[in-house]
């Protein structure tokens, strides 16, 4: 199967498909190691013509956690934070980008993003998964919008379910990663066992 993983810098999903014997490439605007294409994913996918297209668009302006900055009111704004009309414009741009990705001419598409406004702006996700359903000691609700693909089947549900505090969480349930320039990028990484489930299950679809 020809597989294109869009907006992926770390090659985690790509490498899982490679291990299962597929012809897989990652694609992003920046360079990365391994089989990787640098470029606009909407242009690359037209030439690549994949059998399976998995894409992880940037969630900065569509995640629920950042939506309040569209209407900051009297909130104290950190220097450099994009707020107000500028953020609203970038949010609309991100929604249109996600919509275009879901409407690429490909029989099998999976778009991944955290819980946010895509659920109302486009449609509800077909599935919401957690890393702890796949053997990863972590909590990160992840939405999947699917076309021509079955829902992922959990492979190793860890004890405790939603009530358990996971290794990536503080006692109050927040993510342990502190503020940094790399925080968003690190949080966006796909957990390896979820990538393995994608390759094993969707690679056979």
Domains of the chain are 2-202 (3.40.50)
Residues with Cβ within 8 Å of residue 199, at least 6 apart in sequence? 13, 16, 17, 19, 20, 22
Residue 112: closest CA among 165, 191, 31, 204: 191
Whole-model pTM?
0.89
In this structure, what token pair is assigned to residue 100? Answer: 């275009």
Contact by Cβ (8 Å): 97, 120: no
Q: Characterize the bridge pairing of strands 142-147 and 109-114.
A: antiparallel
Residues with Cβ within 8 Å of residue 9, at least 6 apart in sequence? 26, 28, 30, 32, 185
Residue 79: pLDDT band with limits 50, 70, 90: low
156 SS3 class:
strand
**Long-range Cβ pairs for the range 64-71 (8 Å, 24+):** 64/114, 64/115, 64/116, 64/117, 65/114, 65/116, 67/91, 67/116, 67/117
Exposure letters 84-107 (e unless 16+ CB within 10 A, then b):
eeebbebbeebbebbeebbebebe
| 126-179: pLDDT as tens digits | 999 999 999 999 999 999 999 999 999 999 999 998 889 998 877 766 676 555
Q: Which pLDDT belongs to residue 177?
A: 58
Asked whether residue 184 carries a pLDDT value surpassing 60, the answer given is no
Contact by Cβ (8 Å): 118, 95: yes
Distance, CA of 12 to CA of 169 (rounded, Å): 22
Tally helices (H) and strands (E) across the chain. 6, 7
In this structure, what token pair is assigned to residue 204? Answer: 């056979």
Asked whether residue 121 carries a pLDDT value surpassing 90, the answer given is yes
More confident residue, 139 or 65: 139
Q: Which pLDDT belongs to residue 204?
A: 87
């Amino acid at each position: 199967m020809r597989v294109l993983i869009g907006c992926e810098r770390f090659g985690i999903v790509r490498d899982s498909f490679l291990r299962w014997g597929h012809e897989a490439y990652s694609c992003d605007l920046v360079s990365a190691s391994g089989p990787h294409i640098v470029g606009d994913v909407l242009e690359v996918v037209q030439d690549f013509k994949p059998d399976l297209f998995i894409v992880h668009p940037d969630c900065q302006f569509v995640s629920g956690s950042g939506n309040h900055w569209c209407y900051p009111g009297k909130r104290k704004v950190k220097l450099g934070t994009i707020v107000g009309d500028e953020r609203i414009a970038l949010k609309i741009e991100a929604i249109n980008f996600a919509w275009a990705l879901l409407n690429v001419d490909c029989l099998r598409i999976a778009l991944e993003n955290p819980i946010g406004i895509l659920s109302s702006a486009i449609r509800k996700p077909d599935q919401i998964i957690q890393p702890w359903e796949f053997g990863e000691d972590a909590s990160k609700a992840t939405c999947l919008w699917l076309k021509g693909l079955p829902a992922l089947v959990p492979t190793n549900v860890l004890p405790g379910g939603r009530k358990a505090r996971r290794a990536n969480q503080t006692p109050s349930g927040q993510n342990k990663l502190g503020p940094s320039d790399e925080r968003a990028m690190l949080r966006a990484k796909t957990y390896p066992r979820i990538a393995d489930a994608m390759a094993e299950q969707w690679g056979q679809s």
